[in-house]
Structure 1
């Protein structure tokens, strides 16, 4: 079931997404995200246990990338088709799930847009890595 997954591509994608997340929620949009979070939740983000939070984030990213790699292997996705497939997966599953946060939970639109933007970029990067790395998507 998992024999056609390029594990090197999975690890590379996870590392790239962690770097992207650091940049996105740090120097690029960190302040805007903190303000939007505070406006939505009514308090500052909890930074008291970053080791646990970051570790869980890495596990979550690994599950996401592994899931995409599994879908790519099952569908025989390779080359730049990986980007399109990843965007479709983002739209059908991630975008719609995150939209619920705005629709029903009343989160600030800026917070949702910042989070959705990161997720879209993450899917694009993972899709490119998984689709373009040799052996990442063979027929199963």
Structure 2
């Protein structure tokens, strides 16, 4: 496994989250979750962001391991596998949870879109760094 690619992929996914839930869709996400800026500031940000980055590393390790299993692949194949993980596993899983928890379709769209972008960003890193 390429540890540099794994760390950069994890960082890419983490940055996507910062943009997605920040300036891009942060206000809409907070509204759908029923949160305010004050609510968000009350959390332990070191724990939240630190754990989030650690989990991004775990995702990048497993994606990197899976991609390494196939050997040399085209960029298209790498991206299909990366985005396919989000579309085939993560989006249906959160969709099921959101149905039972009665979360809005808008919230589902925001969160599902994030995971697709997250895995696309990581896949792109593996395309360029292997």
The answer to whether TM tops 0.5 is yes
Deviation at 1:61, TM superposition (A): 0.7
Of residues 31, 38, 43, the one that matches 1:35 is: 31
Corresponding residue for residue 97 of structure 2: 101
Deviation at 1:121, TM superposition (A): 0.5
Corresponding residue for residue 16 of structure 1: 12
Change (3 A) 1:77 1:63: farther
Of residues 118, 127, 137, the one that matches 2:123 is: 127
Deviation at 1:103, TM superposition (A): 1.7
Q: Where do 5+ consecutive residues of structure 1 fail to align?
A: none
The alignment status of 1:58 with 2:69, answered yes or no, reads no
Deviation at 1:57, TM superposition (A): 0.5
Q: Where do 5+ consecutive residues of structure 2 fail to align?
A: none
TM-score (norm 1): 0.82
Following the alignment from structure 1 to structure 2, what is the Cα–Cα distance between the partners of residues 78 and 9?
15
Length, aligned pairs only = 126
RMSD over equivalenced CA pairs, Å: 1.5
Deviates more, 1:10-19 or 1:57-66: 10-19
Following the alignment from structure 1 to structure 2, what is the Cα–Cα distance between the partners of residues 92 and 77?
23
8 Å CA contact 1:82, 1:127 repeated in 2 = yes
